Amino acid sequence: AVSCPDLQAPVDGQKFGTKYLVDHEIHFACNPGFELLGSSMRMCQANGSWTGEEPQCKGISKCSSHPCQNGGTCVERLNQYECLCPQEWSGMNCQYQTQTGLRPSSPGDSPSTPKPRCAKTERSQHCSCEAGFHMSGTVDNGVCRDIDECEVYKLDGGPRLCMYQCINVPGSYRCACPRGYNLLGDGKSCEDIDECALSQNNCTRGTTCINTGGGFQCVSPECPQSSGNISYVKTSPFQCERNPCPMDSRACHHAAKTISFHYLPLPSNLITPTPLFRMATASAPGRPGPDSLRFGIVGGNNRGHFVMQRSDRQTGELILVQSLKGPQTIEVDVDMSEYLDRAFQAKHLSKITVFVSAYEF
């Protein structure tokens, strides 16, 4: 049987009919606020083509009829229009003359309950409030009461007005950030203050300042105490290296050759899984590097929040798999063992301290 090509509903319109065989009809209509251009009905012909022209829906201009009076400017909105009126006129079409100024205040009025602005009509008067206030009382004794935007948005389940705290003020609201954060230029987002970079910390000499979410930590990592033939020397503020081992000391050779210290600030309730730390090997020039690596978690108080897995032949990653709620400090020790021809070569230990902020930003 002969059929015609598939037809689509026009943008901002609808299609009625699903059969595309000869002599079948498809009808089209536009959504409210739009007018149809082209054919409202098309029929499938014996030659496999449709009659008529492809339909389109064009928005109907509400302002084309000039609805605004007394010098008002018409602005198109979605399926409606709005008149921007001169100061002395009000109403939907700028048809009412506005009283100059606010209604006289009475004793007991406060800045948070101003009087409404009213406009006289032929038979009555209409009153309205400034943005951020709502009308309360009668037309004769009405006042403008403040709208608590913080509560309204919380109840409606709409977008968060503020990243941290919303404070209601007469006619509006403002946002605040917790201690240790600055309010950004958008008026709602919070940015952590880097007390270490700005020298706003009290870390003493011999310690290092680590910036964290909303604060800082003063750290001074130490090498492990000597034990038997195993001893370490500090080669940088965050690294210890093992002293040379006696040839016959297996325990010394299997102890960590290097110990490094790392500090990671994290926001609370971070989405998981997410990689936090990587370990990789590097061989000295002229010396063969390891042909096999093994990674593992060997200590700390992490309680199963992390896993260590290989990301490629020479790299392992520490992955956060359970979200951490702050504030808290978590420690996790990971090691990397190097093998050459299945023979153990060396082990490297990384001691990682995670400072989890009390906030999710």
Q: Which CATH superfamily is domain 61-93 in?
A: Laminin (2.10.25.10)
Residue 205 neighbours by CB under 8 Å, 6+ apart: none
Q: What is the DSSP letter of 50?
A: B
Task: Give residue 319's pLDDT.
Answer: 93
User: Does the domain at residues 208-356 carry the CATH identifier 2.60.40.60?
Assistant: yes
Q: What band does 157 get if pLDDT is binned at 50, 70 and 90? A: low
Q: Do domains 61-93 and 208-356 have the same CATH topology?
A: no
User: Mean pLDDT over residues 341-357, rounded?
Assistant: 94
* pTM exceeds 0.75: no
Concatenating the DSSP letter of every residue in 78-136 gives TTEEEEE--TTEESTTS-EEEPSSPPPP-TT--TTSPPPEEEE-SS-EEEE--TTEEEE
Mean pLDDT to the nearest integer, 167-196: 91
Domain boundaries, the chain: 13-59, 61-93, 117-146, 208-356
- Main-chain phi, psi angles of 152, to 5 degrees: -60, -50
Contact predicate 284/346, CB 8 Å: no
Is pLDDT above 60 for 205? Answer: yes
Q: How confident is the model at residue 112 (pLDDT cuts 50, 70, 90)?
A: low
Which one has a higher pLDDT value, 192 or 84?
192
Q: Which CATH architecture has domain 13-59?
A: Ribbon (2.10)
> In sequence order, what DSSP letters do the residues of 120-186 get, joined into one string?
E-SS-EEEE--TTEEEES-TTT-EEEEP-HHHHHHHHT---S-SSEEEEETTEEEEE--TTEEE-TT
Q: Answer yes or no: is pLDDT of 108 > 60.
A: no
In eight-state DSSP terms, residue 243 is P
Q: Is the pLDDT of residue 55 over 50?
A: yes
* Per-residue pLDDT band at 139 (split at 50, 70, 90): low
Residues 164-175, mean pLDDT to the nearest whole number = 89
The predicted pLDDT at position 224 comes to 94
pLDDT attached to residue 61: 76
Ranking 154-158, 231-235, 252-256 by mean pLDDT, the lowest is 154-158
pLDDT band of residue 162 (cuts 50, 70, 90) is very high
Average pLDDT on 126-147 reads 78
For 37, the enclosing helix (H) or strand (E) is strand 34-37
pLDDT above 90 coverage of the chain, percent: 47
* DSSP state for residue 21 in the 8-state scheme: B
